[in-house]
């Protein structure tokens, strides 16, 4: 942060000094909203959340070295009292940027891939000058200004990630830090239920390019029609990236290795260069192209761009983290978040990495899909059931559509049909859940809680702490569990050397805990 006295902070935020705050005291350290992150010289911003009120930690923050607290009510510490802490934080960030004419702000948005692209682009800009970018997905009305306030007089680039929860959200973020370059990746199905349709999502994402000045650059995905249409919504110059011939920056000759990592030829107007990604999944190619297009606009030579892309490894946790245990079991931790598009990409990558191996997946029902939720979760189950898995664990609530879809395709793809004497029906499913809760096996036709499984069932009943689906004569073992810990427990005794496990689900399910337990330590 550029040093500011408390009197100036009060002026910028329309606040009032309180608690014996010295107007001449200077904030030099980071601006933080977590009292545990306070350093000497910090400004602690007290945010009242649903479960924790930062005002309760004001005195602790000052004891740890904070110069003062930005608060919305009186606290037992030197403070600047403001009407709205988030608005005050935004005002501070905007005021700081006005004193930094040397800094170029680059915004990245899209339904999927924002964080990975932001990380790649920050690596490229660091080759030119000092760069500030958020850790992980600090992309909302708090994370955005906090990232800006990490910059200082030496900062040349701010690479910022912009997320949208409603129409107008991205526009508000661009007011905090007006971008000169805007990168739009894709319009997918993330938060479909919140927005009501992909057209509304496109409207929200396009607010980034609307904020660009006529001297700026919009970096758009030529392969996504909803993104391509955003060219008409900006006064900035447009540059295109993608796989097709119409893209200025494109990838040719894409080849996947046995670990699911892509190599390709990076084509640009000034020459070509080979790229071999260390990032996993075919979707990483699009993220790399987006970063390359922005880097190219900044004047980086194609050879430097290719070199940096080839050396990049994941910076933000729980995104396609691939770890081999000592027994050669491979854990793919992609548990940060999930939507229908990212689930599809994850299963495609896992099919390559796990080819010729026993494969297991831990997933959960997708959220924020609105009226389309049941159908999209059924489709997720069908995709998982057809993925050639040895085992599928579905964790958490609202799992029935996923389980039904998984069973339908797993049953259809097995070479030995599920016996007619034990048909899959909603009643059998519900009875199976009841039996599983008390440790029994799925019942036979017409059986109540005391029913027995048919003789064609495998010796090991397919049950879980919450529920189960009827067993297959051969094929995918499918089970429902309540949480991440139960998912790890189900797998712990079944994994053998050489197996592979994919872990992916909505952020709220916390499935990174499953990966942590399977790896025998802290989450990677």
Binding residues for ATP: 110-116
What gap in Å lies between CA 141 and CA 189, rounded to an integer? 22
Cα distances from 476 to residues 70, 409, 411, 493, in angstroms, run: 55, 10, 8, 17
Strands 31-32 and 26-27, bridge-based pairing: unpaired
Give the DSSP H/E element, type plus range, for residue 253: strand 249-256
* CA 206 remoteness from chain centre: 20
- Residue 431 has φ and ψ, to the nearest 5°, of -65, -35
Contacts of 106 (CB under 8 A, 6+ apart): 121, 125, 157, 158, 159, 160, 179, 180, 181, 182, 183, 294
- Retrieve residue 524's tokens: 């990677």
- Residue found by looking up tokens 């608060």 in the block: 71
C-beta atoms surrounding 64 within 10 Å:
16
C-beta atoms surrounding 363 within 10 Å:
31
Q: In b/e form, how buried is each residue of 496-518, taking b as 16+ CB within 10 angstroms?
A: eeebbbbbbbbeebbbbbbbbbb
* CA 171 remoteness from chain centre: 21
Contacts of 511 (CB under 8 A, 6+ apart): 335, 362, 364, 395, 484, 487, 503, 504, 505
* Residues in binding site: 110-116
DSSP class per residue in 441-505: PPP-TT--TT----TTS-SS----SSEE-PPPSSS-EEEEESSHHHHHHHHHTT--TT-EEEE--
- Residue found by looking up tokens 């911003």 in the block: 45
**Taking a C-beta distance cutoff of 8 angstroms, is the pair 463, 503 a contact?**
no
Give the DSSP H/E element, type plus range, for residue 249: strand 249-256
Ramachandran assignment for 134, one of left (phi > 0), alpha (psi -120 to 50 degrees), beta (any other): beta
Sheet hosting strand 181-184, strand order edge to edge: 131-132, 157-161, 104-109, 181-184, 217-221, 237-242, 249-256, 261-268, 271-280
What gap in Å lies between CA 253 and CA 274, rounded to an integer? 10
Cα distances from 130 to residues 33, 155, 291, 392, in angstroms, run: 24, 5, 17, 45
Q: Which alpha helices (DSSP H) does 126-274 contain, by range?
A: 143-148, 169-176, 192-195, 198-205, 207-210, 225-228
């Amino acid at each position: 942060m550029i040093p500011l006295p408390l009197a100036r902070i009060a002026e910028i935020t329309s606040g009032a000094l309180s608690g014996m705050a010295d107007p001449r005291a200077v904030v030099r350290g980071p601006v933080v909203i977590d009292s545990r992150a306070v350093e000497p010289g910090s400004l602690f911003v007290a945010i009242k959340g649903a479960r924790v009120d930062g005002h309760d930690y004001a005195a602790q923050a000052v004891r740890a070295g904070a110069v003062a607290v930005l608060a919305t009510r009186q606290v037992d510490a030197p403070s600047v009292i403001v009407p709205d802490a988030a608005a005050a934080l935004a005002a501070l960030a905007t005021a700081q940027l006005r004193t930094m004419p040397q800094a170029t702000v680059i915004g990245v948005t899209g339904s999927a891939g924002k964080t990975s692209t932001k990380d790649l682009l920050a690596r490229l800009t660091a080759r030119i000058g000092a760069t500030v970018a958020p850790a992980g997905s600090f992309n909302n009305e708090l994370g955005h200004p906090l990232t800006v306030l990490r910059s200082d007089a030496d900062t040349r680039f701010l690479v910022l990630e912009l997320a949208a929860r409603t129409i107008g959200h991205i526009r508000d973020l661009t007011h905090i830090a007006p971008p000169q370059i805007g990168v739009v990746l894709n319009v997918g199905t993330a938060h479909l239920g919140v927005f009501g349709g992909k057209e509304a999502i496109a409207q929200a994402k396009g607010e980034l390019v609307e904020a660009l000045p006529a001297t700026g650059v919009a970096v758009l995905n030529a392969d996504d029609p909803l993104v391509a249409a955003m060219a008409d919504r900006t006064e900035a110059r447009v540059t295109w990236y993608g796989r097709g011939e119409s893209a200025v920056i494109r990838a040719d000759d894409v080849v996947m290795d046995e670990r699911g990592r892509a190599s390709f030829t990076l084509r640009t107007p000034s020459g070509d260069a080979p790229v071999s990604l260390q990032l996993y999944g075919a979707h990483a190619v699009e993220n790399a192209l987006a970063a390359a297009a922005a880097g190219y606009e900044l004047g980086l030579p194609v050879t430097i761009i290719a070199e940096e892309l080839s050396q990049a490894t994941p910076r933000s946790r729980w995104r396609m983290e691939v770890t081999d245990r000592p027994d050669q079991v491979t854990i793919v931790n992609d548990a940060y978040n999930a939507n229908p598009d990212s689930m599809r990409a994850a299963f495609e990558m896992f099919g390559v990495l796990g080819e010729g191996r026993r494969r297991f997946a831990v997933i959960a029902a997708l959220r924020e899909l609105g009226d389309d939720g049941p159908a999209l979760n059924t489709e997720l189950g069908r995709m998982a059931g057809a993925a050639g898995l040895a085992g599928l664990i579905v964790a958490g609530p609202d799992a029935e559509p996923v389980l039904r879809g998984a069973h339908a395709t797993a049953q259809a793809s097995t070479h030995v049909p599920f016996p007619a004497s034990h048909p899959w029906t909603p009643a059998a499913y519900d009875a199976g859940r009841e039996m599983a809760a008390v440790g029994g096996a799925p019942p036979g036709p017409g059986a109540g809680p005391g029913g027995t499984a048919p003789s064609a069932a495998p010796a090991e009943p397919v049950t879980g702490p919450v529920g189960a689906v009827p067993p297959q004569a051969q094929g995918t073992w499918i089970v429902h569990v309540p949480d991440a810990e139960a998912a790890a427990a189900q797998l712990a005794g079944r994994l053998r050397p050489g197996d592979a496990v994919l872990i992916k689900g909505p952020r709220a399910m916390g499935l990174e805990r499953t990966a942590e337990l399977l790896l025998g330590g802290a989450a990677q």
